[in-house]
Amino acid sequence: MKAAVLVAGATVVVTAIAVAALDLAGWPGLAPWLARRAEPGLSLDDGARVHLLWQPRLTAPQLRLDAAEGGTLAEADDLLLRWRWGDVWDWRHGAPLRLRLVQADTLSLDWQRDAAGRSPWPLQPGGDRRQPTPMPQIDHLVIHRGTAHIDDAPLQLRADARFATQADSHWKAEVRGRLRGQQLALDAQASAGLALLSPPEAGVPPV
């Protein structure tokens, strides 16, 4: 009996050490495999790493997201995403997707929503593209060089944007398009981080 208890205890300890070691290493090969399983149009570089236990995060040299109907929704280089599992739980139960940090060296995205709020972006917890898609919430957004094409019917916004964040967190953005039927031409810059998508509880000063 004592031998069985010792063996069981040793097995638990060895398993825990192995899991901790794999998590520290970022579970090599797991992130690209999960991406292919989760979303057919999502691809990650083989160098992508995901840490699930302590400070959950994803790092990827390259990420690409293609729409099922064709076209590229997002491309990013040197990407870092951070989240909390409680936010994932809330998202699975109907809350908007919330990310604590989105950081990338370069980012190009195409954000779309039709009049019913539906989007080709895979942000619906059940994967049903027929359901309205709320805007994601991002506590801290750090993009060194980025571009975006936005066609968002609920916001009545069609625009193209260029934005950048410097090493000292100083950011600038240029937006051209139409908002609620009016011509939109915006040039903005600030010394604080970009907080346009931050929820109030994030504690980030508004822009």
pLDDT, one tens digit per residue, over 74-117 is: 999 999 999 999 999 999 888 889 999 999 999 999 999 999 99
Helix (H, G, I), strand (E, B) or coil at 4: helix
pLDDT in tens, 137-196: 999 888 999 999 999 999 999 999 998 888 777 888 899 999 999 999 988 887 765 555
- Give dist(CA 62, CA 47) in Å, integer: 8
- Give dist(CA 172, CA 17) in Å, integer: 45
Using DSSP bridges, classify how beta strands 98-113 and 137-152 pair: parallel, antiparallel or unpaired: parallel
Helix (H, G, I), strand (E, B) or coil at 132: coil
pLDDT in tens, 31-81: 888 888 877 788 999 999 999 888 999 999 999 999 888 889 999 999 999
For residues 139 and 202, the answer to whether their CB atoms sit within 8 Å is yes
- Give dist(CA 73, CA 107) in Å, integer: 11
Mean per-residue pLDDT for 5-12? Answer: 51
